Structure 1
Amino acid sequence: MSSIGKVFISHAVADVALARLVVDFLKEAVGVRDSDIFCTSLPGHSIPLTEDFNAYIRSQIEEPALVLALLTPSYLESHFCLMELGAAWSRALKTLAVVVPGVPFDVVTKTLGLKQAWRINDHAKLSEFRETFKDLELEARSTATWEAKAANWRKKLPGVLRGLPSSKLVEKTKLNSALAEVEALKQTADDEAKRVKKQISDLEEDNARLQERISVKDEGRPRVLIVEPEKLIALDLEQMLKRARYDVIGVARTKQEAMTMALVDKPDIIVTEVQLADGSSGIDLINAVYPLVDCFAIFVTAYPERLLTGNRPHPVELITKPFSPDDALAKIVGATQAVLQRRAKSSHGEARQS
């Protein structure tokens, strides 16, 4: 079947509403004869019964008078439509690309080269669109008919365009942005999981320490508060005392920290340095604690000369740094016995008075 004189409407099946609007406009406003329009989606303009689909399409695009390509998102995603467009380009057919909103205008140069195209909602070029068909055998249309049909076209087009399917493809920049967002969310989730895991671990450690403290308290072990600005020395003292079955209630680095712990946990022994982390004094600490807590102070210090001043608390033991762990432990044990004996005498005296 000859295709000479035909207008070949190249379109995506999903855009049948737009194809119908264009075909109606060609027939009613421009005057293209009904028999001169080939459009696979519309009855009367499509492939006759018994014909082979692919063979008939090839025959229709052999040498049409004009190929009208409706470039929509669905069109650009259809392999069959792109083959039709490629055939039009390779055969140098007269082609008018009709570009809808949402499709970049430069897609025309990427597919058809430098051919002029028409943005479908550019109504100022409707007359130029009409002129595109002047070489066809057209049916006469009066100026009044043309203007009425053009006005109707402008009225119906926005609704048809809104109903077209949007692109199923994602722009690379949007895809990259989405992937980056997903990675950021994953990283945030991983960070939060690590934070929660650490928090759980810390709580478990705190609970284990609390259980140990409860157990130690039930055993009646002597209670010791360590006040030492140097972390390694404090750790050595803590390990030494724990091995000797002492209950280390805490490690403080300043006078204020130590005062809070001493008033809350009431230690039997306070092992302290003279010079504390924030410049505060261990001597001042013991002088402040002694009236409030029944305990015994042991100074483990690199500044023994400072205990020679007039405000030295009493009673105290002195261990000079560097120290022998055995000698230090012996003095701590002696101090523990002293405070326990003092309490026993005090309790006995109170009992006799009562």
Structure 2
Amino acid sequence: MSLGQQLAPHLPFLRRYGRALTGSQSHGDKYVRATLEAIVAAPEEFPRDVDPRLGLYRTFQVIWSSTNDDQQADPGEVDDQEAIARARLARMTPLSRQALLLTAMEGFTVEDTAYLIDVPASEVETLVSDALSEIENQTRARVLIIEDEPIIAMDIETIVRDLGHDVTGVAVTRDEAVALAREDRPGLVLADIQLADDSSGIDAVKDILSEFQVPVIFITAFPERLLTGERPEPTFLITKPFQRSTVKAAISQALFFDQSTAPIS
């Protein structure tokens, strides 16, 4: 099997990571594109002593670290989300956010994460804890949950409240979700795809976004329905069954880039 064939299944998830890290599909995709170009230009430098997925993310991390940490973007090229993120990033260590996303969202072990961001394994858990604490201090929101499974909905609601956020309501159908959003405008939406009356969480989110902008996290057993490579894709996507830490990380990152949460000044 060629290297390209080995890496292909992991690209949608690398794009997810890039979007979550930068807060922008276009910006995240630039880093993914640069990663692939680097691999094509010098395939002999691709890490062959580790799993292909690990080698792919390692190549991405090297490019991110070398071009992003100290680079100042042209103000004319910075969108609102990126401006918000840059202000918040100034208050925390970039490695902390990377450690959080790699462990909680991408599912890498502490040891693999240490390899990816080039720090001792003993530092990874501290970095993750620091990231969660800092993001939680900077962001507060009212959350709408769209989920038709009562046990899962209760679990998500507990996670949301444990993070210090309020829940505006729990909807089990498309129509109910839209009605709740209109009644009490949320600052974040957590949405399943398949709802109680066979309606679609995707359609519910589209209806809500047609009226106002709000960050959205999809939580689904069918990620392939959203990771299609077509634009736009959701910045935040969690696969069921999920870990509580994964949901916490996604909520923190989604609100990290949202201007309606607590002031950052």
The verdict on a shared fold, with TM-score over 0.5 as the criterion, is no
TM-score normalised by L of structure 1: 0.33
Q: Which has the higher contact order (CA 8 A, sep 6+)?
A: 2
TM-score normalised by L of structure 2: 0.44
